[in-house]
Structures are given as C-alpha cells and as structure tokens.
Structure 1
Amino acid sequence: MAYQQQQQYQSQQPMPTMGMQVGGGNRNAAGKPLNSNGKRDWSHGLCGCFEDCGTCCYACWCPCIVHGKNKQRITHLQVSGSPEPDGGSCCSGACWGHCLLTSFLGAGFVLQCMNRGDTRGRYGIEGGCCGDCCSSFCCGPCDLTQVSREIELEEKSFGQRY
C-alpha cells in the first residue's frame, strides 16, 4: 500500500517550453507570456511600426532592402546561432528577388509572407499563413518593420550592439 501511495501517475511526459536561451540569444526577449499551445504574441504590434521610424521609412520607400536584410538576419541566426555581423547586406538575393517580384508582378508580398512565417516559427509566435499573407499584402511596411524588430530583440540579447 505504501508503494502505491508514493507512485504518482503521469498522463504525459513534461512538455518543454519554448527555450528562452537558445544558442546564446533570447528568443523571447520581451518576456511575452506563452499560451496553452506554447505560443506567444509578437513582441511589438503590427501598427507599432511608427516606434521604429527609420525602419518604417525604409520599408515604405525601399521594401526590398528591408526584406533582404530581414531574410539574411533570420537565416544567419538559424544557421550559425549568432547575429549577422553586418546586420544584413542590402543587396542580397532576397532583396533582388523582392525587387523583381514587386516591379514586374506586384507580388513582393509573397516573399514577405514566407519570411514572416519563418520568423513566427523561430520565435514561437501564434498565427498562420492566412494572417501572414494579409499582413504582408495589406500593410507591407508595417509587416517588414514588425519582423525586423522581432529579430532585433534576439540580436540585442546576445549582448552586442546592433
């Protein structure tokens, strides 16, 4: 009987929470609470783009540059586990792809949508493809700025200035 009292029944293995410190950087630097699915909200709202006027202006007038930098920065974090040393170059393949798609087909938002999804996946942010597409299509500059700011939070958590 004493043996049965000491056993505790576990219906499921303990689930890991999103790693706060992964590869030296903090993927939830703003400390957003996780929901029951282990997901969280964006650290900054979509309309919070005006809080970073420099990136917002760049995203309005040269969205291909901001997209290229975002893509290069998130890829570098995923591959090397450290921030991109130059902050992303403005003339990357992602930049040119966005520029060409926007210029000839008006469809640069498609690349933004895909990068937004990658960013959500990396940071465990709640949402889906439909929301990514709507944000990218309806408010491209705000989308680019929000993604940039999310990446920047992790980069700053490495203790280096970016």
Structure 2
Amino acid sequence: MYSNPPPPPRQDGPPMYPQVGSYAQPPPFMTGIPVGSTDQFYPPPDTAGLPGLYQKPIKWSTGLCACTDDCGNCCTTCWCPCITFGQVAEIVDNGSSACGASGALYALVMVLTGCQCVYSCFYRTKMRRQYGLEESPCNDCLIHCCCEQCALCQEYRELKGRGFDMNIGWHANMERRAGTVAAPPPVQGSMTR
C-alpha cells in the first residue's frame, strides 16, 4: 500500500535550499528579482518613457543666435519675453499649464526678482529631454542667464519647426493633429408644444 517516494529531480545548478549551517546567498530565482542575460540593458523605471535619455542627442533645428529667422517672434521676445515664454511653457507642459498663467508668473518673477532666467532654464531642460536635444552651446542655465531672449526665441522656433502652431496653444494643436475640429453644438429650433 505504501510505496517509496520518487527520487528528487536532478539539479545542475546550486541546491534549491542552502545546507544547514551554510551562509550561502539564495539562488537568483528565489529573490523575486527577474534574472536576464548580462548583455541586456533596461533603463531605470522612472526614465523608461523618456525618449531623449538613452539616445544620442540631436542638434537644435536652428542656432541660438538665429533670432532673425522669425522676425515677428524676435520683436515680441525682445519687448515682452513673457509672451514667448508662456507659449513655450504651454507646449512643453503638454497643456497642463496655460500660456497666460505661465507668462504672468514669468513676468512676476521678472519684476520682483529679476531672476526669470532661473525659472525659464528649467523649461529648456524639460524641452531638451522631451525631444532628445543636445545641451549646446553650453549649460541651459548659463544660456538663459546670458542670452535669455535668444534662448526663448530658439525654443519657440524649435517647437514651431516640429509642427506646433504657437499661437493656438496645446489643445488646439492636438485637435488639429487628430484631424478633429471642434464643431459648435447644434442649435435647436424654437420651443414647440
């Protein structure tokens, strides 16, 4: 009625359980961490979706001092950089911040502290990471501290060159790219009984 249990399966690797008195590390299949080959590379989970971090950076479509490529934007940025900054910030933030709010905050920082370049350099860095652009000709903060208007114009031209209409904002650009035009709601006729 009772039979002997079958022999344990043969193991080619380390024993499944460490021997008594042994201080050996558990085998990798028991740690809960997936094990792959050593030639595989996986980006850290917090940066996996960012395109620019694990690719070779690409060049900007225009140079830093090519402000006259778009004379209208050059004049606007020269006299009122908060407008250009607001337009750039709305696109870089994917519509989560409004153009007017970002521009007003930029103007407030400019009037109160005069250090608006510190605020705007964060957006240049964010934009570079989104599109995989190289950090040139030097550090983002240095560019914004020394050439604030030129940097804003370059960011504006870069986004415009990527197909964004900077005057209509993020949401209208997304509707345009999707091919949908927001139609007004239908108007119902007069009241009838």
Identical positions, percent: 33
Q: Which string of whole-angstrom CA distances, capped at 9 and with x for unpartnered residues, describes residues 47-92 of structure 1?
A: 1111111111111111111101110012227x7xxxxxxxx96522
Distance 1:67 1:156 in 2: 15
Quote the offset at 1:12 in angstroms: 4.1
Out of 65, 83, 99, the position equivalent to 1:65 is: 83
Distance in 1 (CA, whole Å) between partners of 2:149 and 2:93 is 20
Greater RCO, 1 or 2 (C-alpha within 8 Å, sep 6+): 1
Q: Which residue of 2 aligns with 1:41?
A: 59
Q: CA RMSD in A?
A: 3.4
Residues 1:120 and 2:128 aligned together: yes
Gaps in structure 1 of 5+ consecutive residues: 1-9, 16-26, 28-33, 80-87
Task: Please state how far the C-alpha of 1:154 moved relative to its aligned partner.
Answer: 2.1
Secondary structure of the corresponding residue to residue 107 of structure 2: helix
Q: Normalization by structure 1: what TM-score?
A: 0.63
Distance (whole Å) between structure 1 residues aligned to residue 106 and residue 87 of structure 2: 11
| Aligned-partner Cα distance in 2 for 1:134–1:71 | 19
- Distance in 2 between the 1:106 and 1:156 partners? 30
Q: Write the distance in 2 (CA, Å) between the matches of 1:45 and 1:13.
A: 37
Q: Give distance in 1, aligned partners of 2:159 and 2:98.
A: 15
Q: Which of 125, 141, 153 does residue 149 from structure 2 map onto?
A: 141
> What SS does the corresponding residue of 2:56 show, helix, strand or coil?
coil
Q: Which has the higher helix share?
A: 1
Match of 1:131 in 2: 139
- Matched position secondary structure for 1:59: helix
Cα distance in 2 between the residues matched to 1:90 and 1:142: 19
Shift of 1:111: 1.5
What displacement does 1:121 show?
0.5
Amino acid at match of 1:117: T
Q: 1:124 to 1:108 in 2, by over 3 A?
A: same
Rg comparison, structure with higher value: 2
Deviation at 1:153, TM superposition (A): 2.0
Partner of residue 99 from structure 1, selected from 107, 112, 136:
107
Aligned length: 125
